[in-house]
Amino acid sequence: MITLNIKTDEGVVLPVYESELASGFDLRAKSFKKLFKGTKEVPLDKKLQKSIEEGYLTLRGFERVLVGTGVYVQIPQGYEIQIRDRSGNSLKKGLLVANSPGTIDADYRGEIGVILINNTPFLNKIELGDRIAQGVAMKVQHVIWNKVEELDPSLRADGGFGSTGVN
C-alpha cells in the first residue's frame, strides 16, 4: 500500500474503493473539457452548453470527450496510476476509456482527465457525478538498455506477432 497526496476541487469527494478487495478506485465526472468527433474538436454550441449547465452531456456515436475529475495527485517516484475502463460502462453502455490504460506519471500535477469514447452508434448520456473510470496504482521500473548485435535465436523469432501457429 502507498500513500498519495491528493487535492480535489470544491465539492469533489476523495476517490474510493467500492469493496475491500477492489484493485481500482473510482473516478467521477466533474466537468466536460473537450469534445471530439473524428479528428475535429466539436465546438460547445448553445445546446451542448445548456446540457452541461444541467449536469450532463450526451455523446453521439463514436464521439470522444475529455472529462475532468477534479482530482489532482502527487505520485511517488517509481509509481504510476493507470486509468482503466469500468466494466459496467463498457458492457452496458459501450463507453470506453479511449487510451486504456492511460498512464499518469509521477511528475504530472494537473487534474486527472479521462478520455471517454462512445463506442456505439447510439446516444450515450454521461452525468456529472457518474463513475466513469477506475484508477490503479502500479509500481514501475525504468529500463537500462543493453545494446547487442543479435538477440538469443533460441527464443521466438520474427513471425510471432499475430501468429497462431497455423499455416
85 within 8 A of 97, measured Cβ to Cβ: yes
The whole-number pLDDT of residue 163 equals: 61
Residue spans of the chain under pLDDT 70: 155-167
Any idea what DSSP says for residue 18?
S
The whole-number pLDDT of residue 48 equals: 83
Q: Where do the domains of the chain lie, and which CATH numbers do they carry?
A: 23-143 (2.70.40.10)
63 within 8 A of 41, measured Cβ to Cβ: no
The whole-number pLDDT of residue 74 equals: 97
The whole-number pLDDT of residue 159 equals: 61
Please indicate, yes or no, whether the overall pTM of this predicted structure exceeds 0.85: yes
